[in-house]
Amino acid sequence: MNKFAVIVLSSAALAASALAKESATSRLRPASERFADLAKAEDPSFRRHVVPLMSRLGCSGRECHGAFSGQGGFRLSLFGYDFEKDHKAITQDSDGGEAEVRVNLKEPLESLIVTKGAMLTKHKGKERFKKDSWEYNLLLKWVQDGAKLDVEQTGDFDRLEVFPKEIVFQKAGDVVQLKVLAHWRDGTIEDVTQITRFRSNDDSVAAISDTGKAESKGKGDTHIVAFYDNGVLPVPAMLAMSEFTGSKYPKVPTKTKVDEMVVGKLRKAGIVPSEICTDSEFIRRVSLDLTATPPTPDAVRAFLADKSPDKRAKKIEELLKTPDYAAWWTTLLCDFTGNNPRQLNTGGDLQLNDRFSRQWYDWIYKRVNENTPYDQLVAGIVLASSRSRPDQSYEDFAKEMGSYFRDDNRADFACRDNMPYFWVRQNVRKAEEKALAFAHTFLGVRIECAQCHKHPFDQWTQTDFKQFQAFFEPVNYGGRGESKEDVNYASLSRAIREKIGYDQKTDKNRNMLRTEMQKMLRAGEMLPWQEVYVSQRPQRKMSDKEIERMKQRDPNFNGRVITPKILGGEEVMLNSFPDPRGPLMDWLRAKDNPYFARALVNRAWAVYFGRGIVEPADDMNLANPPSNKELMDHLATGFAAHGFDMKWLHREIANSDTYQRSWKTTPSNKLDEKNFSHAMIRRLPAEVVFDSITIATASASGQKKFNEDLDNRAIGPNASISGKTRGGDNYTLSTFGKPARLANCDCERTSDPTLLQTLYTRNDPSFLQLVDSQKRDGSGWIDELRRATSPESSPERIKAELAKLEAGKARLTEQRTERANGKLLAEKDRQKFEAQMAEVDERIARAKKTLASSQSGGAAVDFDRSIEEVFLRTVARPPTKEEFAKAKQDVDAAPNKVDGVRELLWVMLNTREFMVNH
């Protein structure tokens, strides 16, 4: 017997063993047996049998009566989640009277709910079951028994169980029958296989029939998802990609726990992973993923020359200590949290949205740079209020805010304990908007569907959404109207208006008001600031209309007060908490929280691999399970156990062989896109494209300066600020898919190639300026080559230039001494002088090197080395012998060798190898 047969039989044996343990008296037979004979049929339940059956038959699906407008004047809730509403729709007409045509209690056989499905009456939905079938008998028996609504009598649904728990097919065409058990809180267990709705997540791998028969269609792995009542349960299903399974599987080293989990799945799926990538591939890949910055040519040369066995681990540690690492992962966290200055247009006449956005970035950057535990970072956002302390007066708050914007001795906003701007945005002013943003950002969950109806792929109902939303009802932004403090928002606003003579009704002296407020801002004086605050008020009572709507959607809803309830958790009485977000934060940190740690783990994994363990990375729901559950559990549990240490997570991923595999595939893994058996070729993110082009075209000193000054970087704090010339231009970044940070969706960041991207790297003026170095006033590499080979590079001219530089250095030293003696040297001036001095010293050293070369009769430029430099600058590897020979031939044939190098640089910037991470 082969391995596949053993696995399938083992699954069946386990299922039989588990079922045998259930009490025969508490487990009810399948519907096909219980309703086969109408005369002996048991009493069917509306909730347990009628609604699930109609869902399985498609009656309450999107294409039929579950559509928003229904069909033929008959509308059911989508997938049958709203029992009371559906019962009313089936048993009553639009005027509230008895619907004799749908449910005829006097003549049950004439009920359309029975006759239409059996096509005894004309039906656009065609035949759904045969006359006298068990489905026919079930519906007819329910009508005969009075078509009762029995939600209260059935009690609460507990859980779903499916056997076998995993399907491993032997060959295409194999069929496995699933068995689904519904467990109810009253102890009842029922075989509901025939009234369960099934779905395959990939029909090309496994198809599923209405009756739960899973059929292998092709090689690969997927999940079969079972839906019954409020239960959603996925079952893995696979057919091995090759004969290499079990004892035939080659020995693959698993040096880390991540590798164990990944190779364990690959062994089962018959997928042999790729080899480990080359050193040049690794240093470019890890540098781009960890720091969004390509390695310098010198860094590549040094890494390739290093023969130590642990050099990759050392490189990871080195990169984790760089400002680039902190800047890139701050940029990504700003994506997830929605840092968009246009949504922060809250300063009124002050127009401080760009500065708020910069403070948001700086606040996160400080914590990423210091490796603050992720849960603490999130707590600083989730629990944030504008006042830095609960007992802080409005007057002190206004003074504190002024200190962050004054010209002299400005305070550092990043040193605040919390960052309230997440709650300030214009697109999260309503409680439901806050709930959606919170779920997406910190849970990686999309719950928009539950605003209107039950989530089609998860357990959330509209009642769940309303109860979750209640946490955010007391969270407000604005001027506190109820404040009784002597100095408050209203009093400060009034004082400034009176001082200027501004009339709100006529808008007279508006410009004077703006000018005066800007002066006060620069001086650090008190201004009226709106604030994020929590209202101390009782939980909101619902109106009669709201109660009626909620009852229609959820028959269990029976209260006027919405009691907050965490997703999938317990109800919370907010009167016990000064801030309703407190219990939410406690829940995020809870050991058994199913989302918080997984959300960041999954997003980080998606950055490294181009897709999440759950894909899409921000859509974790029961019907969209992880492609490798053990891997997800290991990383999420480990992340939490290590105190939500973000660097632990990066090390755990980047040090694995799984991350370091080659992009070159094996015969068995060339079609694999979700089991991480090889590196996926990924298009570079927008910010990485822009910065990589800038770095590739800059001189050595320009590269150093660019890397050290984050304000220049597309991953820096200025990249999101409109109209800024530093930090990348918005057109280029948007062309390559930078997210707008407007929607609760990670899909805003795109990596799809477009025609505009191709045109940009072919002939866009800003791109050509970078290549030709016209934009950096001579700090570009090609410009440097031109100077070194021009007639002006004679020894005499170089000596004259050297003398000028040394004279300039002397003047700088003299100015610094004078200011220091006069005690006028502020910290920012000192830093400026040091930067200027370092630049002058570097230019002097470069001039001396050029002078020595020219005096010794050597060539000013080694063009063979320049050819190698082009490859190292763009794709972080030396050219092959064939590439070098071809490039040298083209450079030598050019009228000017510098122009030849320039053309080679342009060509390499337009290669696919440069534009992707592999």
Task: Quick: pLDDT tens for 288-342.
Answer: 999 999 999 999 999 999 999 999 999 999 999 999 999 999 999 999 999 999 8
Cα distance between residue 656 and residue 672, in whole Å: 19
For residue 309, give every residue at least 6 positions away whose Cβ sits within 8 Å of its Cβ, in sequence order, or none: none
Q: Classify each residue of 73-107 as buried b or exposed e, where b means 16 or more C-beta atoms within 10 Å of its C-beta.
A: ebbbbbbbbbbbbbbebbbeeeeeeebeebbbeee
Average pLDDT, the chain: 86
Do 590 and 568 form a contact (C-beta atoms < 8 A)? no
For helices 897-909 and 863-875, the axis angle rounded to 10 degrees is 20
Backbone phi, psi, residue 228, to 5°: -150, 130
Full DSSP string of 804-846: HHHHHHHHHHHHHHHHHHTT---HHHHHHHHHHHHHHHHHHHH
Question: Tokens 């029939």 correspond to what residue?
Answer: 209
Q: Which residues of the chain have pLDDT under 50?
A: 1-25, 94-100, 558-561, 723, 725, 774, 776, 857-858
Burial 821-857 (b: 16+ CB within 10 A, else e): eeeebeeeeeeebeeeeeebeebbebbeebbebbeee
Q: Residues 6 or more apart from 516 whose CB is under 8 A from it? A: 496, 499, 500
Neighbours of 298 (CB within 10 A): 11
**What is the rounded CA–CA span in Å between residue 290 and residue 279?**
16
CA–CA separation, 778 vs 786, rounded Å?
10
Residues with Cβ within 8 Å of residue 786, at least 6 apart in sequence: 898
Alpha carbons 399 and 388: distance in angstroms, whole number:
12
- What whole-number distance in Å separates Cα of residue 575 and Cα of residue 545? 26
pLDDT at 62: 79
Q: How confident is the model at residue 861, as a pLDDT?
A: 76
Q: Are 436 and 448 in contact (CB under 8 A)?
A: yes
CA nearest to 842, candidates 711, 741, 703: 703
CB distance 158 to 93 below 8 Å: no
Q: What is the pLDDT of residue 380?
A: 97
Of 133, 250, 126, 294, which is closest to residue 703 (Cα–Cα)? 294
- What is residue 702's predicted lDDT score, i.e. its pLDDT? 83
Helix (H) or strand (E) holding 214: strand 213-216
Rounded CA separation 617/590 (Å): 22
Residue that is written with structure tokens 């170089």 in the block? 798
Q: What is the dihedral of CA 720, 708, 610, 225, to 10 degrees?
A: -60
Instruction: Look up the pTM and report it.
Output: 0.85
First to last CA, the chain: 41
Peptide bond into 250 cis (omega under 30): no
The SS3 of residue 162 is strand
- Look at residue 531 and give its three-state secondary structure: strand
Please report the pLDDT score of residue 775 as a whole number.
Answer: 52
Amino acid at 853: S
Predicted local confidence at residue 206, as pLDDT:
97
Which is nearest to 455 in space by CA: 463, 443, 447? 447
The Cα–Cα gap between 215 and 205 comes to 9
The answer, yes or no, to whether the previous bond of 164 is cis (omega within 30 of 0) is yes
DSSP label at residue 734: H
Nearest to 386 by CA among 472, 486, 478, 492: 478
Distances 495 to 449, 490, 492, 732 between C-alpha atoms, Å = 47, 9, 5, 45
Assign 3-class secondary structure to 484-522: CCCCCHHHHHHHHHHHHCCECCCCECHHHHHHHHHHHHH
Predicted pLDDT at 703? 85
